[in-house]
Amino acid sequence: MNSQYHDIINTFEQFASWEDRYRFLMKAGKNLADFPDKYRTEQNLVQGCESQVWLHIEISNDELKCFADADARIVKGLLFILLTPLNGLNAKQIATFDLNGYFEQLALIKHLSPSRGNGLLSIANTIQQTAHKLSE
């Protein structure tokens, strides 16, 4: 796990309330890597999300690079929380990364609406399935 994983967990633990965590999420979305317009296609549009969410995964050798964007600030923050600990990992590491455990440490899913939580889990599963196929 990279240090950004621990930084996010430590940051979340510092907040006394979920209102503070939501504010952090909305600000964190500004740190999401730029999403090139050429990836804003129907093919990259994630189905089943409450907001419009685009996900593009590039594969080079054993490395996955994920780009994502959304039309809602809180969702952009959730994408940042999802993608940050995966940055710099190879396909096998991403495929075996315990994202459910990570989300539990953040107590994230239980504080999201069911559709947002399901959307986030769907995006996480898509990334991990792609990584799993690559690492076989």
* Angle CA 63–64–67, to nearest 5: 145
Please indicate whether residue 66 is annotated as part of the active site. Answer: no
Q: With contact defined as beta carbons under 8 Å apart, do 97 and 88 qualify?
A: no
Cα(102)–Cα(79) distance, rounded to whole angstroms?
14
* Residue-level length of the chain: 136
Catalytic residue among 25, 28, 32, 49: 49
Contacts with 91 (C-beta within 8 Å, 6 or more apart), sequence order: 59, 62, 63, 64, 131, 132, 134, 135
Q: With contact defined as beta carbons under 8 Å apart, do 83 and 95 qualify?
A: no
Residues involved in catalysis: 49
